[in-house]
Amino acid sequence: MASPTSPRLATSLCGIALRNPVLAASGTFAYAVEFESIVDLANIGGIVVKGLSREPMDGNKPPRIWEAEAGMINAIGLQNIGVRAFVKDKLPGIRQLKTPVFANVFGNAIEDYEEVVRVLDGEEGLAGYELNVSCPNTKHGGIFFSNDPVLLAGVVSKVRSLTRRPVIVKLSPNVAKIDPLAQAAESAGADAISLVNTFISLAVDARARRPRIGNNYGGLSGPAIKPIALRLVHEAARAVKIPVVGLGGIATGEDAAEFIVAGAAAVEVGTATFWDPQSPLRIARELDAFCAEEKISRVTELTGTLRLN
């Protein structure tokens, strides 16, 4: 019987052992502990918590979510309780979990990332960090960290200097070419990269002549973005030597297999958890069944096996 803890699925990411390569993505799984009563957290490959900032953030005005034809548009606005409240109220519960938990970190200046990591690095219970660089650098005229290799390298190298924990850099797809960003993250000391974040999008109410999202624009995720995400993961995996974590529209085990074949060492599941909180476990079971059907003894054998025409 397929299982999320099958030996076929055992792998590692940045030296951290994972029961399976299916992680819950940031922004979709709260701070992990909220799901204890409905999901067997011990058998998830890993969990990336909701993004953390220096101070609490209220997020954007509603409406914040709109269901698109083949996905979801969100403009939550990175609402979170702030890093110090996270350490006080959430981290004690996270320490009891038997699954690796990564803290997602973001900010609008390098100093913001620096402060959040300084606070977290003095605490036990985290496996590593995922840096959300899809933020405007307010000290450099609002240029997004994710769009500029120099700014990106600056924030990655600063965080790298502050911690021995693995640093994963989450890249945005809203760029002309992914290779130089992936390479900048690698050169600055990233242990892995994850991609993709959401695509900037717009939903319109034609009768009201207004956007359907309170913040006007939002981020598109879900099945609609999977083909583009696959292409970007493949391009990034060919451009760097560090592991790539793939995400973007993964809803089934075969979806996960596609990302792994394209070059991903692991995957993250996000939007699917909104309609099925247990989707990371289900997808891992389906991935195990896929490996069995394909006579794959270890899921790692699939990584980067895509043969281009």
For 229-258, write each residue's pLDDT tens digit.
999 999 999 999 999 999 999 999 999 999
Nearest by Cα to 204 from 216, 192, 212 = 212
For 57-97, write each residue's pLDDT tens digit.
999 999 999 999 999 999 999 999 999 999 999 999 999 99
In a domain, 309, yes or no: no
The pLDDT of residue 45 is above 90: yes
In a domain, 265, yes or no: yes
The pLDDT of residue 140 is above 80: no
Percent pLDDT > 70 in the chain is 100
206: amino acid identity, one letter: A
- DSSP SS3 for 129: strand
- DSSP SS3 for 113: helix
First-to-final CA distance of the chain: 35
Task: Look over the chain and give the mean of its residue pLDDT values, rounded to a whole number.
Answer: 96
Nearest by Cα to 263 from 178, 160, 164 = 178
Distance in angstroms (rounded) separating the CA atoms of residues 102 and 268? 12
- Domain hosting residue 257, numbered range: 7-59+77-199+222-302
In a domain, 97, yes or no: yes
Paired tokens of 10: 């055992």
The pLDDT of residue 139 is above 80: no
Kindly report whether the peptide bond that precedes residue 63 is cis, defined as omega within 30 degrees of 0. Answer: yes
In a domain, 242, yes or no: yes
The pLDDT of residue 111 is above 80: yes
In a domain, 211, yes or no: no
The pLDDT of residue 135 is above 90: no
pLDDT category at 54 given cuts 50, 70, 90 is very high
pLDDT of residue 1: 81
pLDDT of residue 95: 97
Burial of 249 (0-12, 13-18, 19+ CB in 10 A): buried
In a domain, 192, yes or no: yes
Catalytic residues: 135
What stretch of H or E contains 200? strand 199-202
CATH number at residue 98: 3.20.20.70
In a domain, 82, yes or no: yes
In a domain, 86, yes or no: yes
The pLDDT of residue 9 is above 80: yes
Paired tokens of 277: 């909180």
Distances (CA, A) of 132 to 101, 201, 203, 210, 299: 16, 19, 24, 29, 27
Paired tokens of 131: 């840096």
For 159-218, write each residue's pLDDT tens digit.
999 999 999 999 999 999 999 999 999 999 999 999 999 999 999 999 999 999 999 999
The total number of structural domains that make up the chain: 1
